[in-house]
């Protein structure tokens, strides 16, 4: 397929391991830099996102003019895309410590500073739906109103990425804005609705492996270890979509749910469950390597999905190289990523608009 020629260039704020940047590159956009405060992402990002500079910086301490020293950009550039896909733990519905992620709730405010300073042709924001449900607290209302006052045409939606070819039930808030057109810019769903079997499993090149397997190659078909008790639980969990209900009345029942009436239990029922071959995966989070953090057990094998399986469900190419010896670090890069396939579709929608002007 012939690569699309475009003058568009992008800076990817909160780039992590490079999911959004990769998709934009695949669309044909020149990604000139990624910005993130995590030093553990640098090597992975620079290895895979060829030609882009990784700027290691905390956006709270980064001044707008600082970018002029690091990369060749200018203000009021119609071809410049600023992308802000900030970490979303504070706004997620998943039960996490909000104290640990409290600072992340203000990242949109910080990204906004750079929009006002550079006045780019295009703005892209991607986050969890929670940021849209609390627009006052998140600053989204103010952000959108300011864009509109500056002459941007703003389109935003909450989308299920399974409608865009991603094999997950991953619901996200997406915003694409432009000041060079009044046309709606947003990718069109392909409604292919792929499932787990379309991406992982033996027919897709994934060998059968045990829990605790360490793949020393770049493929990283590595799995976390599992306790003897959890192994017993998985053996009792029906294959292909089974849940923890199969052992809830045994000595293997989770301590938190013992001696409680089921109807009074408020819990995430997917924990310790298996994925189903014929359904999309749940949202791949930063903890997908652990069966206690969601429906992350393999449909058949007695283990959580591997690092590479998680990356593949996130639509990273199998040749994408994650550089770290730490399973949590790699899982964080994968779980925090915008699926490259969806990012590519956003990029193509911007290119289509740019070419028509």
pLDDT in tens, 215-232: 999 999 999 999 999 999
Entry pTM: 0.92
* Any domain includes 142: yes
pLDDT in tens, 58-71: 999 999 999 998 89
Same-domain pairing of 121 and 167: yes
Give the chain's length: 357
pLDDT in tens, 274-304: 999 999 999 999 999 999 999 999 999 999 9
Extract the tokens encoding 137.
């607290």
**Annotated catalytic, 15?**
no
* Any domain includes 229: yes
Lowest model confidence (mean pLDDT) among 119-123, 152-156, 352-356: 352-356
pLDDT in tens, 70-108: 899 999 999 999 999 887 544 344 444 444 444 555 788
CA gap 97, 56 in Å, rounded: 25
* Any domain includes 327: no
Neighbours of 136 (CB within 10 A): 8
State the residue range of the domain holding 274: 200-314
* Any domain includes 105: yes
Beta strands (DSSP E) in the chain are 9-13, 30-36, 53-56, 80-84, 122-127, 153-160, 171-178
Which domain CATH number covers 245? Answer: 3.90.120.10
Which domain CATH number covers 46? Answer: 3.40.50.150
pLDDT in tens, 194-223: 999 999 999 999 999 999 999 999 999 999
Same-domain pairing of 133 and 25: yes
* Any domain includes 155: yes
Q: What is the pLDDT of residue 293?
A: 94
Across all residues in the chain, what is the average pLDDT? Answer: 90
- How many structural domains comprise the chain? 2
Lowest model confidence (mean pLDDT) among 21-30, 93-102, 173-182, 276-285: 93-102
Residue among 15, 41, 85, 88 flagged as catalytic: 88
């Amino acid at each position: 397929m012939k690569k699309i020629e475009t003058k568009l260039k992008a800076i990817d704020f909160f780039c992590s391991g490079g999911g959004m940047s990769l998709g934009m590159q695949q669309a044909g956009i020149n990604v000139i830099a990624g910005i993130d405060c995590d030093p553990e992402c640098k090597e992975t990002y620079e290895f895979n996102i060829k030609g882009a500079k990784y700027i290691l910086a905390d956006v709270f301490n980064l001044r707008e003019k600082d970018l002029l020293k690091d990369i060749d950009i200018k203000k009021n550039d119609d071809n410049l895309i600023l992308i802000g896909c900030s970490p979303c733990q504070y706004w997620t519905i998943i039960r996490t410590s909000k104290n640990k992620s409290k600072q992340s709730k203000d990242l949109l405010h910080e990204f906004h500073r750079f929009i006002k300073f550079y006045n780019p042709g295009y703005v892209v924001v991607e986050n969890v739906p929670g940021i849209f449900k609390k627009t006052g607290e998140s600053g989204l209302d103010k952000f959108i109103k300011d864009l509109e006052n500056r002459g941007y045409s703003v389109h935003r939606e909450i989308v299920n990425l399974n409608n865009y070819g991603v094999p997950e039930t991953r619901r996200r808030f997406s915003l694409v804005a432009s000041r060079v057109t009044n046309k709606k810019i947003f990718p069109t769903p392909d409604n292919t609705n792929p499932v787990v079997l379309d991406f992982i499993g033996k027919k897709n090149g994934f060998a059968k492996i045990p829990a605790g397997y360490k793949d020393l190659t770049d493929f990283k078909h590595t799995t976390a270890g599992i306790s003897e008790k959890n192994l017993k639980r998985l053996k009792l969990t029906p294959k292909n979509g089974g849940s923890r209900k199969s052992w809830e009345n045994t000595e293997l029942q989770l301590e938190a749910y013992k001696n409680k009436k089921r109807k009074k239990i408020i819990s995430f029922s997917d924990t310790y469950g298996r994925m189903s071959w014929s359904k999309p995966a749940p949202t791949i989070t930063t903890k997908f390597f652990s069966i206690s953090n969601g429906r992350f057990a393999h449909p058949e094998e007695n283990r959580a999905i591997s690092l590479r399986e998680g990356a593949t469900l996130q639509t990273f190419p199998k040749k994408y190289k994650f550089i770290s010896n730490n399973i949590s670090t790699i899982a964080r890069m994968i779980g925090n990523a915008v699926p490259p396939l969806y990012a590519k579709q956003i990029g193509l929608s911007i290119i289509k608009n740019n070419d028509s002007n």
